[in-house]
Amino acid sequence: MKIAVFHGSTRVNGNTEYLTYQAVPKEKGTHIYLRDHDIQPIIDKRHAPEGFPVVEDDHTQLIDQLLEHDTLVFSTPIYWYGMSGPMKTFIDRWSQILRDDSYSHFRVALKEKNVYLIIVGGDHPRVKGLPLIQQFNYICEFYGMTLKDYVIGQARRPGDIVNDQVALTAASTLIHID
Amino acid sequence: MKIAVFHGSTRVNGNTEYLTYQAVPKEKGTHIYLRDHDIQPIIDKRHAPEGFPVVEDDHTQLIDQLLEHDTLVFSTPIYWYGMSGPMKTFIDRWSQILRDDSYSHFRVALKEKNVYLIIVGGDHPRVKGLPLIQQFNYICEFYGMTLKDYVIGQARRPGDIVNDQVALTAASTLIHID
Amino acid sequence: MKIAVFHGSTRVNGNTEYLTYQAVPKEKGTHIYLRDHDIQPIIDKRHAPEGFPVVEDDHTQLIDQLLEHDTLVFSTPIYWYGMSGPMKTFIDRWSQILRDDSYSHFRVALKEKNVYLIIVGGDHPRVKGLPLIQQFNYICEFYGMTLKDYVIGQARRPGDIVNDQVALTAASTLIHID
Amino acid sequence: MKIAVFHGSTRVNGNTEYLTYQAVPKEKGTHIYLRDHDIQPIIDKRHAPEGFPVVEDDHTQLIDQLLEHDTLVFSTPIYWYGMSGPMKTFIDRWSQILRDDSYSHFRVALKEKNVYLIIVGGDHPRVKGLPLIQQFNYICEFYGMTLKDYVIGQARRPGDIVNDQVALTAASTLIHID
């Protein structure tokens, strides 16, 4: 099992990150912190005659890493009841990848991926985070990825997550790492 | 009634824009195209001792415009079953506004706003767009904004929206403009 | 097109019924009022060695009618943010039909059906009715039925529905009856 | 803490029941099996001049029991992506209680209740059970009840639930019973 974790938080060592390490310790997976990468917002050129322009940023490098792993963990704080902007921007650009001849295998390759979600919020995340789970489920369905499971943590202030014993336990048993 | 329309699409004259003009003709509201503005992703500094840094971009100017209107329309294509990245980034930064002493009235001011949503997608948007509606509803609840109503349009290719007669009709009667 | 409308309301000539007649006038479809029929709650015997008992009520007769039509309209007031109890009881019993040798064609036959939903509620139904839409969508997915579209009406007191012009319009154009 | 558990399953000793006993052992709460009670479907008479008729069944007795406890657990198998018919019928009748002069304290009394949900399904319940969670959340919101938490279990065949270790653990720590 090769695990890639995509961290959507913009804060270093935040609650979401802490919870995620219970699921995938630092040394057990490839941890990618989206905040450390330059990812430009998509400009929808799917229907433009010239197609998408080449974008000089880190996106394709991250996609390459994604493709090298069979298990994908998307870890994001709940920002305004959705995934973080950086994670949304990262995923929006998949539309460009789908039109990129160098990645014609992208969609088929994703079909083999197992996906886990870890989301953390401060405002009733066990209920108000459900649309985000549903959104990710649709993303997985689109690609034929398997949404294996998810953990929803509750935390508002830094460090709060240590009090969500249920989430910590759930995270620590989320993925059966060899 | 003073209407501000926030367009989240990254494509000029796309389906979502077309549908939105049925609800708010160009000359009947202040149309703001997020794609034309520099909006930096948030870096969560809510809990940092130094607080949020000043960001040199267009965000506060857009917030100023938002505050000057009583009716807000959020118009976004459905990108991966959520709002577009630029719109998410725009809203994420509200967390920074909430900590900005120059905008101490922000939260209270939003309480008076009426909100409408216009979303357009290609993959069963009438069902798969529902988590996005629910997400926006939670955003409105947080601020005490009134989510008046929404329209979900179906379109995949440029121009497709003209075939969604139900959505066009619904949009044209969405807001009772004086 | 042969349309069967299943009315879940327990009140005669209620708001939901009124809205439904905009979509399917009385003379244009087979209108079945679940309240007029004896439908016993399911007792789950899927795993009992003896199987389901024969139940002496109207359920199979209603299933027979369902099977004779290609277009199914489920019309229900929103009771406690879900379909009405009688409609739930009606659908619960489908589990028994699935095990009934006389209806071995049931699942395959449903695959050909087009489904429409009409739901009416008094407490923010355009948002709080969405889980009910999602539930019906899963039911349709299970059988491979096509969820064509839905209308959500708002009404609290008898007759209120006439004020929901958007819903009335949407209902009247919901189904293209020959 | 006085716990009442309302069991919605129609099958004795099913998976949902097993999971529920992990949360509330038989001797630690008042266990009410809706299948053992006569609960008539509601007939909506909220707007009838004569009001609701007296119904000779077990409903008010169950409501009395509900009111005597401060913690309510609703435990239901997922039938067609919703609560079981008997549980829906039980809750539908609350509309009648709200109009019953003998229960004028009902709505206020519920405000003090803490609610837990335990639901079990066979078809991707961790995703397809979410509308049911959202529905219960709206019910709780209506009454001002506190939806404390929920557990979603996966099981299809009798006994399957013992394999859902995550759900068993979550159930066993769901309620802190004195």
pLDDT in tens, A105-130: 999 999 999 999 999 999 999 999 99
What average pLDDT does this structure show over C14-22? 98
What pLDDT does residue B177 have? 84
Residue B178 lies in a domain: no
Q: How many CB atoms lie within 10 A of CB D153?
A: 29
Residue D117 lies in a domain: yes
Nearest-CB residue to B170 (from C134, C137, C170)? C170
The C-alpha atoms of residue D43 and residue C153 are separated, in whole angstroms, by 21
Q: Which residue has the tokens 């837990």?
A: D116
Task: Find the length of chain C.
Answer: 178
Residue A54 lies in a domain: yes
- Model confidence at A66, in pLDDT bands (50, 70, 90)? very high
Nearest-CB residue to A130 (from D130, D166, D169)? D130
What average pLDDT does this structure show over A67-73? 98
What average pLDDT does this structure show over A29-33? 98
Residue A154 lies in a domain: yes
- Whether residue A11 and residue B123 make contact (CB cut-off 8 A), yes or no, is no
> In angstroms, what CA-CA distances link D97 with A168, D63, D104?
41, 9, 8
Q: Which residue has the tokens 């969560």?
A: B44
Model pLDDT for residues C162-176, shown as the tens digit of each residue = 999 999 999 999 999
D10 token code pair:
């129609």
- Model confidence at A163, in pLDDT bands (50, 70, 90)? very high
A43 token code pair:
């400009």
Task: Give me the interface pTM, i.e. the ipTM.
Answer: 0.96
Which chain B residues are Cβ-neighbours of C170 within 8 angstroms? 166, 169-170
D165-172 and D15-23 helices cross at what angle (nearest 10)?
40
At residue C52, φ and ψ (nearest 5 deg) are -75, 140
Q: What is the model's pTM?
A: 0.97
Model pLDDT for residues C122-159, shown as the tens digit of each residue = 999 999 999 999 999 999 999 999 999 999 999 999 99
Give the type of residue at A115.
V
B135 token code pair:
């997400």
The CATH number assigned to the domain holding D145 equals: 3.40.50.360
Count of CA atoms in the C-beta half-sphere (13 A) of B71: 18
The C-alpha atoms of residue C159 and residue D121 are separated, in whole angstroms, by 38
Which chain B residues are Cβ-neighbours of A128 within 8 angstroms? 138
The C-alpha atoms of residue D68 and residue D66 are separated, in whole angstroms, by 5
Minimum CA–CA partner of C89 in chain D: D85
Minimum CA–CA partner of B136 in chain A: A81
* DSSP class of B84: -
Burial of D129 (0-12, 13-18, 19+ CB in 10 A): buried
- Identify from D81, D127, D147, D154 which residue to disrupt to test chain A contact, counting A C-beta atoms within 10 A and taking the largest count: D127
pLDDT surpassing 90 at residue B178: no
Residue D104 lies in a domain: yes
Q: Mind giving me the DSSP string for C79-134?
A: BTTB--HHHHHHHHTHHHHTT-GGGTTHHHHHTT-EEEEEEEESS-HHHHTHHHHH
A57–chain D nearest CA distance, Å: 35
- Is the Cα dihedral A36, A37, A41, A42 positive or negative? negative
What average pLDDT does this structure show over B12-41? 97
Residue C9 lies in a domain: yes
- Whether residue A123 and residue B132 make contact (CB cut-off 8 A), yes or no, is no
C50 token code pair:
């003896």
Nearest to B175 by CA among B4, B50, B55, B8: B4
Which chain D residues are Cβ-neighbours of A164 within 8 angstroms? none
Domains: count for chain B? 1
Residue C177 lies in a domain: no
- Model confidence at B81, in pLDDT bands (50, 70, 90)? very high
A28-32, B34-38, B42-46, C2-6: the lowest-pLDDT one: B42-46
Which chain A residues are Cβ-neighbours of B139 within 8 angstroms? 80-81
Residue D177 lies in a domain: no
Model pLDDT for residues B82-114, shown as the tens digit of each residue = 999 999 999 999 999 999 999 999 999 999 999
The C-alpha atoms of residue C45 and residue D18 are separated, in whole angstroms, by 17
Count of CA atoms in the C-beta half-sphere (13 A) of C9: 22
Give the type of residue at A170.
A
What pLDDT does residue B83 have? 97
pLDDT surpassing 80 at residue D178: no
Which chain D residues are Cβ-neighbours of A137 within 8 angstroms? 127
- Whether residue B149 and residue C130 make contact (CB cut-off 8 A), yes or no, is no
- Neighbours of A, requiring at least 3 CB pairs below 8 Å, are B, D
What pLDDT does residue C177 have? 84
Residue-number span of the structural domain to which C113 is assigned: 3-172
What average pLDDT does this structure show over A28-52? 94
What pLDDT does residue D177 have? 84
Task: Find the length of chain A.
Answer: 178
